[in-house]
Amino acid sequence: MTSRAVCPGSFDPVTHGHLDIIARAAALFNEVVVVVLHNPSKQGFFSVAERIDLIEHAIAASPRAAAITVESYADRLLVDVCREVGAGVIVKGLRGPGDYSYETPMARMNAHMSGVETVFLAADPRLEHVSSSLIREIATHGADVTGMVPEVVREALLGKIGTLAPLE
């Protein structure tokens, strides 16, 4: 039985949805490696260093923080990252049919290539609508993202965007 799992993603930025999946993965496996995968030719909203910093701040409050580490990899196959970090399983959240359609071919391909299995956790229904892309979009237009992302991320969004005020 594998004891180390990988939680991969772009995390641009990390949301409460991601953190729920990371915490639940840490309850199932001895160690969790949060892997920030990025394409160096694509400009993110947050830099990779900022994304890692935000995840590390956000998980610091977790009772399982000691079991969770954060790594980043550029332009790599996830199965190669799993091999490098010694993880035998990938943990992903599924928010609905769209995620299922997108994620299952990748899960099957990863298992086909390497034998690494993907464990899907059903997303918390209260967070099903929360994605990094929607967070970026609504925050950019001035909406309040309290409750959807950790406070450290909300502040970083405000700092990045500059002039946002929470909605009354």
Across the chain, where does the E strand assignment appear? 4-9, 31-38, 68-74, 89-94, 117-122
Q: How far apart are CA 44 and CA 42, in angstroms?
A: 6
In single-letter form, the type of residue at position 154 comes to R
Site string for ligand PNS, 14-53 (x = CB under 6 A): -----------------------x----------------
- Catalytically annotated residue among 18, 38, 51, 92: 18
Active site includes 95? yes
CB 21 within 8 Å of CB 99: no
Site string for ligand PNS, 61-80 (x = CB under 6 A): ----------------xx--
Question: Is residue 109 near ligand PNS by the rule CB under 6 A?
Answer: yes
CB 148 within 8 Å of CB 135: yes
Among 5-13, 53-61, 115-123, 145-153, the segment contacting ligand PNS (CB under 6 A): 5-13
